[in-house]
Structure 1
C-alpha cells in the first residue's frame, strides 16, 4: 500500500479527511467550552495537527493566517524544550519572535506521546485571538503602537500546564504583572475570561490527543505516520504542478508585482519558477524598511500568506499543509517591514500587511483582482490605569468587518465578506448590544464601492455603531488612501473611510446652535484612537473589491466554474453576508 508502490488513493483520501476531522472536533470543543465573544461567537481561532518534526499535517478551514504560522511556533518550542516534555505538559506562546502572529493570538501546544514508547508522535495546537491581553489600550490592538511592549503581554515560552497541573500563578504574572511594568501600559483587563478561554484551548488540544490515539489504535502508528507524510507529499506534488502550469499559461517563468501600504511602504515580489523541478524562489527584495508603527509583519506571517495563496490557487480538495511550502524558497530581506527587529510593533502587520502580501502574490500570478486588502479592526473598551497609575478592572471588545472580494477571469467578486486569510465572523447584533453599551445603527452593503469590469468586484460594507457611554474606541485599517487594484482593464475598488459622528456639546466648546445639526462628521483616518462620548457614533465604510476586464462586455451570468481562488477569497459566514445584503 505504500513505499515503492505509492500510497493507496482511497486510504490517502480517508486519512486526509480523518486528520481534518480531528482538527474540526478540536474546533467544536473550543467553541463549546470558551466564553468570550471573540472565540465563541466570532470563531477567531484555529486548531491543527503537527508532525513530530513540527510540520503542519492537517487543519480544518479556520483562520489561514494562523495555520501557516503555527508550525513556526511549534518548531520554536521544540528547539527550546527538546526532550524535556512529559505527559500532561502544555505550552503557551504568543511572541512574534517565536512563531507568533500578533500578541492577542495565543498559541497552546500539546505534545502527543505514544502510549507505550512514550515518544512524541504528534503535536496538537490551537490558536485563539483573546479580546484583551494588556497594553496601552483596551482590546490590545492599539493603532498608535510603535513597539511591541505597548501591545500587551509577550510570552516567548511558558509551560502553562506541567504534568497535568495548571499554573495559574505563572499565568497571572505573565498576563498582569509583566505588561503593567511598561510605562502607560496595563496588564490584562479581564484575566478571568482569558484564563477560561485558555483552559478551553487546553481542552481542545486534549480532544485532539484522544482522537489521534484512537486513530493509532485503529490503524497502527506506522500506517498513520506513513499516510501523514503521503498527504504532505501530495500537497508538494500539487504545488509543483501548479508552478509548471503557471509558467506555461503566462509564457514566462519570471513573475513580478508590487503594491503599497497606505503610508507608501512598498511590498515587492519577484517569483522565479524552475519549470524542470516545479519549484520557485519568492524574493521580497525591494520591500520597504521597518516602519515606526505596527504594520511590520513577522516572517511567520509572510509564510502564512504565501502558503495560503498556493493552496487557494490549487483546484484540488487537499488539506492546507506544510507540503505546499516545500517547493518554495521564500526570501525576506532582513530589516524590512516583513522581517522587523525584535521589539517592533506588529499588531497591524498580522491583520493588514498580511492581506497586502496576499494581494501582491495573487497579482504576480495574475490570479484575481485585489480584494478589500483590510480587516477593518475595531476595538473598544474600558479599564487599564487611571491618571495616578492605579490598575482599573475593565474589558475589551474586538471585531473585524467585512468588505468586497476581487473579481477574477470568470467570476464576480463577493460583497460583504471577510476576504482571504481572515475567515472570522462578525459579532452578532443581538449579542453585541446585549453584552456591551453600544447600538448597531447601520450594517449593510456599501453601494457603489465595487470595481467595475467585465466581472465586477464585490461591494464593501457600512457598519455604524452608537456608543451609550464614554468609551475608548480604536480603528486599525488600510486601503484608505490606496485603492484595491483591478486587472485586465477592470476598475479599482472603492477606498474605505472611517467617520466619527460627534455630538455637539457645550462642555467641548461646541454647543449646538440655531441652524446647525446636533452632530458633525470628522474623518479620523485609517488608524486612530478616540475617547468617544455618550451618543457619539463611528461609521466604518469598508473597501470594495477590484474588477476584472473591461466593463460592459459581460452578459451578467456568473460562471459556475469558479476555482479555489474565488472560493477561498470570499470568506465569512453566509448569515453575515445575508445580514449585510438585507441591510440593518
Structure 2
C-alpha cells in the first residue's frame, strides 16, 4: 500500500486539492493485481496548502473485465487480458464522483480481443463509493487527532510508530544473526522452493548482527514467465514485511518501519520484478505465497502452509463470481498447524452457503476438512479441505492453484503436507483431473471437486508427543 501512495504523491501530489480522490490498480504504480482497486484520498488541514496525510484503502472487486468471468484468467499472458487497469485517475474531482468516466474505464476491456468489460458494473460502482466513504471516515478520525493534539504531535507519533517497528526488527535480527553465526560461522541464511512449473524462488539473507540490518537477496530466482505467475516487485516487499512482522517479539502494528533495516535485492526481469505489461494475476495470489514459504524456510520459522489461495472463479457474460478456499497451515516448533484456514498473504472469508446458492447457479455439495492431509511430525500440519460445487447451468469455470506438483514442505524432520487436486465429474459420468490451472466450460449437472493442500509437519516424525486428536483418527483409518 505504501508504494501506491508514494507513487501518487510523486505523480499527482502537486495537483491535488480538497475534494479529490484517486483511483489506481496498475502494478507499475504500486498495485498488486488488477482486481485490487486502491482508493487514495489526501488529508488537508486548515492553514496548510498541501496534504498533511493520505488515507488509502484497497478492495478486491469480483470482476473488472478481461478474458474470463471473475477477472482471474488462468491463461493470461499480458496484463491487458486481466481487466481494467489505470495508474492514476481522479475518481472524485472537486467533490464530484466521476461515475460516467469510471464506467468507461471499467467497460474499456471489452474493446480488446477476446475480452469483456466488467460483468459486475453495478457492484463496482457501489464498492468504489464505499471505498471513498471509508477514506472519508479515516479523514474524520485523523482530523480529530490533529484537533486534539496538534499536527506536529500527531506526525511525530506516526514517526514513533515506525521507529518502534524498526527497533523490533533490529532486535530480532541481532538475536538470529548472533545465533546463526555461532552455529555456522557466518550470519547467512538460505532457502529455495519451486512453483509447480519448476520456476525457482531463491533467497539468501545476510544479517549484520551488530546493527540488526539484513540483505534479502532473491538473485537466482526464475526469469519472468510468459504467463501470469509474475509478481510485482512491491508484492515481494509486502511478503518480506509480513514475515518480519510475524517473527518479531514485540507487539507492534504492521507498518513500513519493519522494512527500514532491510535491503531487498530482486533481479530485474525476474518473475519477482517483471516488465510493466507482464501478466501478474497469479503472482499476487500464488507466487507471493511461495515467497513467504521461502522466507520462513530460511529462518526455520515453520513448515510450509498450503501455499495457495485455490482461486476459483465461474460465470458468463452476465456475472462473475470469485472465491478463495482455505487449506492447511504449517506446523511450528511448538504448535500444530491449523486446519481449514487461510494463511499468510490472504485473509478472505468465504461466501455463506445460503447466499452462494441463492445468488448463483450452483449447489454446494460438500465443504469439509480432508482428514489426514497435514504432514506428520512432532507437530502435525493442518488439514486441507474438500469443496464440491454442482452447477445448475452452463458456465465457464476457471481455477488458479499451486501445490499440485510440489508438496508443502515439512521442516526439521517433519513430513510434507498432501498436494491439492482439482477434479471435474461430468454429468455424463466421465472424470477429469484438470491440473493446477485451467479454464473449462461446465454444464448443468457437472460437479467440481476441489481438494486443497495440507500444511507441512514439524519435527521428528517418530515423536508422537502432542499429536492432535484429528490426526490420530486419520492415522487409524
TM-score between the two structures when normalised by the length of structure 2: 0.96
Distance 2:58 2:418 in 1: 33
2:281 is equivalent to residue 347 of structure 1: yes
Distance 1:192 1:423 in 2: 25
The question of whether the paired residues in 1 share the 8 Å contact of 2:365 and 2:388 is answered with yes
Q: Which residue number in structure 2 is paired with residue 197 of structure 1? A: 127
Distance 2:71 2:226 in 1: 18
Choose from 136, 141, 150 the match for 2:81: 150
Secondary structure at the aligned position of 2:426 is classed as strand
Instruction: Write out per-residue CA displacement over residues 133-162 of structure 1, whole angstroms, 9 at most, x where no aligned residue.
Output: 000100000001111111000111100101
Choose from 363, 367, 375 the match for 2:301: 367
Runs of 5+ consecutive residues of structure 2 not aligned to the other structure: 469-477
Q: Which residue number in structure 2 is paired with residue 563 of structure 1? A: none
Tell which deviates more after alignment, 243-252 or 128-137: 243-252
The question of whether the paired residues in 1 share the 8 Å contact of 2:380 and 2:467 is answered with no
Choose from 63, 66, 69 the match for 1:135: 66
Alignment coverage as a number of residue pairs: 465
Please state how far the C-alpha of 1:225 moved relative to its aligned partner.
0.9
Please state how far the C-alpha of 1:165 moved relative to its aligned partner.
0.7
Please state how far the C-alpha of 1:248 moved relative to its aligned partner.
2.3
Choose from 429, 453, 476 the match for 1:543: 453
Secondary structure at the aligned position of 1:209 is classed as helix
2:344 is equivalent to residue 413 of structure 1: no
Q: Which residue number in structure 2 is paired with residue 494 of structure 1? A: 418
Please state how far the C-alpha of 1:249 moved relative to its aligned partner.
2.8
The question of whether the paired residues in 1 share the 8 Å contact of 2:67 and 2:114 is answered with yes
Distance 2:467 2:42 in 1: 51
Secondary structure at the aligned position of 2:123 is classed as helix
Distance 1:250 1:278 in 2: 13
Please state how far the C-alpha of 1:218 moved relative to its aligned partner.
1.1
Q: Which residue number in structure 2 is paired with residue 248 of structure 1? A: 178
Secondary structure at the aligned position of 2:175 is classed as helix
Q: Which residue number in structure 1 is paired with residue 471 of structure 2? A: none
Distance 2:364 2:438 in 1: 20
Please state how far the C-alpha of 1:470 moved relative to its aligned partner.
0.6
Distance 2:416 2:467 in 1: 21
2:207 is equivalent to residue 273 of structure 1: yes
2:19 is equivalent to residue 88 of structure 1: yes
Q: Which aligned segments of 4 or more residues in structure 1 are displaced greater than 6 angstroms?
A: none
Distance 2:465 2:299 in 1: 26
Distance 1:470 1:448 in 2: 34
Distance 1:286 1:523 in 2: 32
Q: Which residue number in structure 1 is paired with residue 350 of structure 2? A: 426
2:442 is equivalent to residue 532 of structure 1: yes
Please state how far the C-alpha of 1:172 moved relative to its aligned partner.
1.5
Please state how far the C-alpha of 1:117 moved relative to its aligned partner.
2.1
Secondary structure at the aligned position of 2:430 is classed as strand
Choose from 389, 398, 403 the match for 1:465: 389
Please state how far the C-alpha of 1:121 moved relative to its aligned partner.
1.4
Distance 1:365 1:446 in 2: 29
Please state how far the C-alpha of 1:170 moved relative to its aligned partner.
1.3
Q: How does 1:175-186 map to 2 (within 5 A)?
A: 175-176=106-107, 178-186=108-116
Distance 2:289 2:448 in 1: 24
Please state how far the C-alpha of 1:189 moved relative to its aligned partner.
1.2
2:59 is equivalent to residue 124 of structure 1: no
Q: Pairwise CA RMSD of aligned residues?
A: 1.2
Q: Which residue number in structure 1 is paired with residue 44 of structure 2? A: 113
Secondary structure at the aligned position of 2:23 is classed as strand
Please state how far the C-alpha of 1:426 moved relative to its aligned partner.
1.0
Q: How does 1:62-81 map to 2 (within 5 A)?
A: 70-81=1-12
Distance 2:157 2:314 in 1: 46
Choose from 402, 422, 427 the match for 1:478: 402
Q: Which residue number in structure 1 is paired with residue 271 of structure 2? A: 337
Instruction: Write out per-residue CA displacement over residues 48-76 of structure 1, whole angstroms, 9 at most, x where no aligned residue.
Output: xxxxxxxxxxxxxxxxxxxxxx1111111
Distance 2:248 2:324 in 1: 27
2:377 is equivalent to residue 441 of structure 1: no
Distance 1:469 1:489 in 2: 48
